[in-house]
Structures are given as structure tokens and as C-alpha cells.
Structure 1
Amino acid sequence: MTPPPFLRAPAFPQHRAQITAAADAPTPLPADALDQLRHARVGGEFWSEAAPWSALECSGHLTAAGTDERVAIAAVLDLPVTVLTPGPYGKPGDDLHALRARLTSLLASARYIDPFTGADSSFTATIALLGQWRREIEANRTIAVASGMAWWKRDEIRRFLWVPERDVRFVRKAARALAVARKANGALAVWPSRVSPALLAAAHAQETGIVRVEDGFVRSVGLGSNLVPPASVVVDTRGIHFDPATPSDLEHILATTAFTTALTDRAQALRQMIVIAGISKYAAQTAAPLPPRDPKRKRVLVPAQVEDDMSVLAGGGGLTSNLELLRRVRALEPDAEIWFRPHPDVDAGHRKGAVPDTEALRYADAVMRGGGMAPLLDVVDAVHVLTSLTGFEALMRGAEVTCHGTPFYAGWGLTRDLGAVPERRRRCLSLDELVAGVLILYPRYLDPVTGLPCPPEVLVARIAASQATNRLGWVAPLRRWQGRLMTRLRAFAR
């Protein structure tokens, strides 16, 4: 039987990911190839709960056959090895130098493949992807059970929280979920809007960790309120990014990461990719007709929000009214041309926060409906937000941003902050350091074609190429009908 390649993908249930094949000619490797392996801790069954990397680091000496992958891993880790019988990873008498040379030769005999496209890839890109998969799988091992996840997003949540030895278990009742987590001595994954103070208190009392799972920032090809499953989420072990009252994993990333040039260059390229493709949270959308520009007036966009959204309640500093936000913007920008953008979930009739056009036009020059958010951001000078993600999207496009509340991107030296900013956020970041933390290091992504966990560039490329589709497309017409009905019922009630 042919042994498996030293570098291979975990056995994801949704798709068999091929990352290597036999090469017709030796593949040039970077000089630090084995150092990349050591840093990423990938090779062999690195995804296994009994992964050999940690076990070898705890041992003083390895004695094994040359067919044992642990020989190669020990050589990468510079651990002493005695090889008993010959095999692809070593033969009796090999010292560490010889073992490392054998592994380098094996790695050079492979062709590296992008599992998302099937095209040729590089050794470095392959190691980076395997490292991402390892980190996500290891983080998922702490999660014993999930609760509060809507039925229509569970297939995606299973993929985001997957570990090889088990499928994530969903439990509807919070009390039962806590009992399962306690018995398994693991954490409970929850959707933040489904978390009650009583649940948090009970989890604290029994010393059960809470892991919050929430939509990512490049989310999908449609609205969550239309039951479009997310292609991106965040998995936060400290808190959640939209609540400034407590630390979050995102805040920790932004405050402590030593951003390398390679990482900020990658963030810059990703940012440019998103801007050029016209992508915002709900994918790429067309532009609606725009009013003629008055060159003498500053053009300001005010995006409305769902007034009972958790980010508004947590980060709005007591301000929840879209109309009041608009009034404040007019007071600060008396000579500006102000555009008011209703929230799509509210306009669809699903959520709270509607402002009649007659009321909005007391302070705004135009109410902008139709088309996507990105085309609007391309033509405005400034954006005023409460906590809306639109402010971050505006920063990526070079617009001036004023925050009336405390969104996750406030307090890092890039915005005008009118809301209270936590003392924890006193570090000044460049735009691409912010983008690196927010779009690369914090969220998780799924490739909409293969279903595999992927880097953000893959999802953005799929959206730009119209390859991202909605698995539950049949639900959208029903939700639109429901939204129109609810809008009429609210109008009748008034």
C-alpha cells in the first residue's frame, strides 16, 4: 500500500481537499521550508486529537521505523531519533541532518495544488492554509455543544466548528446545553442574540466557558433576515466585537498583534480586491441612480441601523434612534449634502427602525434606496455612523468616518470618535493593520463552492466572480412576502 503524502488535508466531510500530487520535476522549495513546517506545526495527521507534534515535544528521544511519519516530525523539531528500519523518512544510522535532507527531498517531489481551484499552488501557500486549518480545528476542540443557532444556518455552523473526531451537537434548550457542556468539561457555543443574562450567570456559576459565534464582515450574497446562511463568522472566546463593555478576541488582536510587513501587504491587497469588486457585507451589488453632485458641498452618508440590533444596544451609548442620529449629523454638518440610507432589513419589513421619508428629509437632502452600499461609499466624502459596519467599509475606501457610538473600529486612531472609547483601545493602527485584524485574523470563512474553510481572498474572489450562491434560495421569496405583510400590518396599526 502506498503511504499517504506527508502533507495532506484533514478529511473534511463536505469535500475531499487535494493539496499535493506527484510532480514531474522537483519543486523548488524556499530555504526555510522546514522552519515553515515547524512554525505551522503541520505534516502527518496534525489534525488528530492525538497529533504527534505535541507528543514528540514532550518526549526526549524517538525510536521508530523509517516508515513512521513521526521520524520526519522529530527531525523538523530537532529531536534525537533512532531509526530502526529503512523507509521514506529515514534509515538506520541517519543523523538529524540526513533525516532533514530526506524530508526536504520528499517535499520537493510533490506538486502543490490549490484545493479551491485545482490550480498549481506554492509550498508556502499550502503550509499557510494547513496552518489555518490546524488553528481552527484546535480552537474548536474546546467547544462541547452549540445552542441558539437557527436551523437555516446550522449546516454552515457545523463546518465552521468541525473537528475530525465528532460532529458539533446542537441543543435547543439552554439549560440542557449547559448540562451537556458541563458533563463534557467543554465550552458552550452560542449566537449572541440568543444569550440571556441568566444563561451567562449559570455558565459562570458552573465554570463553563461561553464561545460567541456571530456573522462575519463579508457575510454572504444576501441578507441574514432573508435566511441567507453565512459564508463568514467570528468565533470569539472573550466577548464579542460589537460590545465595547467587555474585551473581545478582536480587540485583543488589534491591541497586541505585531503586524508584519507581509501581513499588512496582504491586507492591502485584500482591501483593494474588495474595493475594486464593489463588495460590502452582503456581497457585490449594483449602483442605483445618484443625485447630481454639487461640487461646493461636502457629501455625507448616514446609514440607518436596526434600532434593536445588539450592536446598537451594546455600542450606541444610549442612542438607538435613526432619526435622532440624522438630526445630530445635520447639527454637526450644517452645510453638507446629507444622504440617508435606510437599513435593508428594516425596509424589507423584518426589523425595527423605520423612518418615514418625510421625517428623514427634515434633516437629509436625499433618501437613498436601491443598489448596494459600496457604490454609495465610492462617491461620498464622509460617513457618520452609530455602530454600523458601513463605517469600516468607508475607511477601506478612504472616506472620513465619524462614530457617534463605539463600533469595533473606533478608538484605533482612524476615526473621529464621539462615543466613549474603552481605555483598552489606545493603540494607533494603520488602515491595513486594522484590515488585517478585522478581515484576516479574526473571522473564519467558507468557500461557497467546495464548502472548505478558506482564507478571505477565496470568498471575495468567489463573490466577485458570481460563484457564491445561496443554499436556501427557495426561502427568499417567502421572506419577502412575509416582510411586505409585516410592513402593511405596522402601517395599519399606526
Structure 2
Amino acid sequence: MREFFATAEKRRPFPLFRRTTTSALAVAHARKGQNGIAVWATRIPRKLEQTAQKNHLPFFRIEDGFIRSVGLGSGFLPPASIIADSRGPYYDPARPSDLEVLLATHPLGEALQERARALIGLIRTQNISKYSAGGSIPAFDAPAGRRIILVPGQVADDMSVRLGGGSIKGNMDLLRRVRATCPDAFIVYRPHPDVDAGHRAGAIPDADVLHVADRISRGGGMAPLLDAVDEVHTLTSLTGFEAIMRGLPVTTYGQPFYAGWGLTHDLAPVARRTRQLNIAQLTAATLLLYPRYIDPLTGLFCGPEVLIDRFKTPEVWRPDLLMRLRGAQGGIRRAFVQGVHTVLQTRAKKKDWS
């Protein structure tokens, strides 16, 4: 965070870190005119935002960027991009975020679009997604004539699901909705990597998934998977945006940031979003104007093109001891959850037999 909020002005110190609302406000008041308050969007203490606004202090909600790292944040790998939003979380459709304002009002002219088209080409040729690069295209052996639909799973308690998911309650509910909408499709379910790693909530037993879906895809990057499917149906997953950049049809069942601009089929439209954008304009606002990037090798500010180039440098992303311990913790949690599910299934069968 020090690197993300660094400034070229030597007289301005690095950000100071505080754990409580009172101390954060005290520091911000002491440095009024120079800094505001930045806080992880999912960790905002009660009344901190209202108090900052009342005292006319700039307030920024921090999230991981959309091209983040080669590895998971839930595995304690630091981000190489972040979002600092002064209006509201980009995943909350109840109010406009800085990203929505950019999408709705910025000219997004030809020079930006040209750079965005080049960036899309880079993302596609190098198979870049939020947490990975590279990989091979999987084969599903779908019957001829059946369209292949990817349904990306999400973290059950993720704020984008809670705020933008509408009436859909969880991954299993989404799968059922997709099957009801597309009864003849070949549905591929992709568990969220944080959930599959055992770090976050939202796991579904494979047997339950396969009552509705045709395949479960895990392992490997998201980008190659998108090259193996015909369309994407999603609640609010970033995978929908990554699919748009690849020209795939996307159906949204919730209200993600990329819905409502004429590029998706939206089952729960956001009424205030009326501007029609092209893919280059959506990409320019989302990846060029909105996030902050740092070069993980030098710690200096950079653009997404430099960060993507660093995805090819393995030593930058090598896990340290804490990250390896986190991986082991996730494995233990996964085994425990699967064990509990097996015990419950066994008891249910015994009850049926009796």
C-alpha cells in the first residue's frame, strides 16, 4: 500500500497505517489538505465513511485490481494493482462508483480506444486473467450441436454477490437458473479459485453440481477456458468482463459493473445505465483509467502492459513461507469440509435404508 500511495513530492510522507476509526480520523485531521482516508472496501469500520464525509475528508475504498497477480490474494500474494474509489464500490449497483461515472460520462476517445484494443490483443494472445497467465485450452467432448456455456462460481459471501446478486442465493441457485434458461446447453461449472483453494465460502459438492451441470472445470487459467466455450452466464463474476473482451456472448443474472452498456444480455438491468459502449471503450475505462498499477519488480507505477509483461517473470511471484503455510491451511480446510459432507451423506443413506 505504501507503493500504491507513494508520491513524487518529497515533502509528503508515505501513508500512515491505523487500525481504528478514531486514530485514522486523528491522523487525517492532522494532515488535512494533504491526505484522506483509504480503507479496504470489505473492512470499513462502522460510521467511518459518514464521519469522514462530515469532516470533508477524502475517502477511498480499496479493492484488488482486475489484472492482479500470478496467484491468489486469499493465498496472501500481494496485489500488483488496486482500485481506489471515491464514490462507492464498483460492485454495488445501488449507487454509481468512479468506474460507472467513467463509463457513463468520459469521452473515451479514439486514442484511448486504440490503446485498449492493443491491450485486449495482449490479454488474448498471452491468456491473461485476474490471477493467471498462459495455459492450454481444455477439451470437454460436448455432443455435436450443443452450445457450451460456462458458469463461473463465486465466493458465497463476496460483496459483489451480496450487493449485486439480486434474488439469486449462491452458486447452486445460479446453476439451476442457467439450466432452466438453457435446458439443452452443455453447462461447464468453474469453482471460484479462492473457494477451491479452501480459503473462502461457497463450495458445492461435485455430485450436487453434476445433477445440474455437465462438467466441472478446475485447474489451469480462466483465459484458456474462455476459448473453449461458446458463451458465459454469470451472476456478477469478473469472468463476464474477460469474456466480453474475447467477443463471447455474456448473460448476466445479477448487476455487475460491465452490465447495462449494450454489450451483455442482462436479466436484471440497471435502469440508469443507458450509454451504449463498444468493447474498446469498456476496456479503456475498466483497465486503463480506473485502477492503479505498480511494477512488482521495481515498485514503481506502471501501466497494465508492463504488469502483463511481468507475468512472464516467475521469480516475481514465487511464494514465501507465509504463502506456503496459507496453502497448507486451505488444503486442510478443504479436506475437513469434504469429510463432513461425506459423513452427512453416509448418515442420510443409513436413515433412508432404515
> TM-score scaled by structure 2?
0.90
Match of 1:72 in 2: none
CA distance in 1 between counterparts of 2:48 and 2:340 reads 35
CA drift at 1:492: 4.6
Task: Describe the SS at the equivalent of 1:213.
Answer: strand
- TM-score w.r.t. length of structure 1: 0.65
Does 2:30 match 1:183?
yes
**What secondary structure sits across from 1:339 in the alignment?**
strand
1:123-138 residue pairs with structure 2 within 5 A? none
Tell me by how many angstroms 1:444 deviates.
1.1
Tell me if the contact between 2:38 and 2:60 (Cα under 8 Å) persists in the aligned partners: yes
Structure 2 residue corresponding to 1:427, chosen from 275, 291, 294: 275
Tell me the alpha carbon deviations over residues 154-200 of structure 1, each in whole angstroms, 9 at most, x when there is no partner. xxx11110123211111112221122213322421011010144322
The structural deviation recorded for 1:422 is 4.2
Correspondence for 1:7: none
The equivalent residue for 1:277 is: 126
Give the residue type in structure 1 aligned to 2:154.
Answer: Q
1:233 paired with 2:82, answer yes
Percent identity of equivalent pairs: 51
Choose which of 313, 325, 328 in structure 2 pairs with 1:478: 325
Q: Secondary structure of the equivalent of 2:317?
A: coil
Deviations 1:233-277 (A, max 9, x none): 111111121111111111111111112211111100100100000
Query: What 5-or-longer segments of structure 1 have no aligned partner?
Result: 1-156
Per the alignment, do residues 459 and 300 of structure 1 end up closer, same or farther by CA in structure 2, a change over 3 Å counting?
A: same
- CA distance 1:200–1:259, shift in 2 (3 Å): closer
Q: Kindly tell me: are residues 443 and 468 of structure 1, through their superposed partners in 2, closer, same or farther at Cα, counting changes over 3 Å?
A: farther
Asked whether the 8 Å contact 1:346–1:354 carries over to 2, the reply is yes
SS in 1 for 2:188: strand
Partner of 1:377: 226
- Bigger relative CO (Cα 8 Å, ≥ 6 apart): 2
Indicate the residue corresponding to 1:441 in structure 2. 289
Contact 1:462-1:468 within 8 A present in 2 as well: no
Q: Which runs of 5+ in 2 are unaligned?
A: 342-354
Rounded to whole Å, the distance in 2 between the matches of 1:205 and 1:168 is 22
Instruction: Let me know the Cα RMSD of the aligned residues.
Output: 1.7
Q: Distance in 2 between matches of 1:306 and 1:328?
A: 18
Matched position secondary structure for 1:384: strand
Cα drift, residue 472 of structure 1: 4.9
- What aligned pairs does 1:69-218 form with structure 2 within 5 A after superposition? 157-163=1-7, 164=9, 165-185=12-32, 186-218=35-67
1:323 paired to 2:167? no
Deviations 1:72-96 (A, max 9, x none): xxxxxxxxxxxxxxxxxxxxxxxxx
1:396 aligns with 2:245: yes
- Does residue 456 (structure 1) correspond to residue 300 (structure 2)? The answer is no
Aligned residue identity for 2:293 = Y
Give per-residue Cα distances to partners, 1:108-149, cap 9 Å, x unaligned.
xxxxxxxxxxxxxxxxxxxxxxxxxxxxxxxxxxxxxxxxxx
Residues 21 and 45, structure 2, Cα contact 8 Å, conserved in 1 = no
Deviation at 1:285, TM superposition (A): 4.1
Write the distance in 2 (CA, Å) between the matches of 1:373 and 1:364. 18
**Structure with bigger gyration radius:** 1
C-alpha distance in 1, partners of 2:251/2:313? 33
Q: 1:292 to 1:449 in 2, by over 3 A?
A: same
Residues in 2 aligned to 1:233 and 1:476: alpha-carbon distance in whole angstroms: 20
Q: Is the 8 A contact 1:316 1:406 kept in 2?
A: yes
- The verdict on how the C-alpha distance between 1:262 and 1:288 changes in structure 2, with shifts beyond 3 A counting, is closer
Q: Distance in 2 between matches of 1:398 and 1:366?
A: 23
Q: Which amino acid aligns with 1:474?
A: L
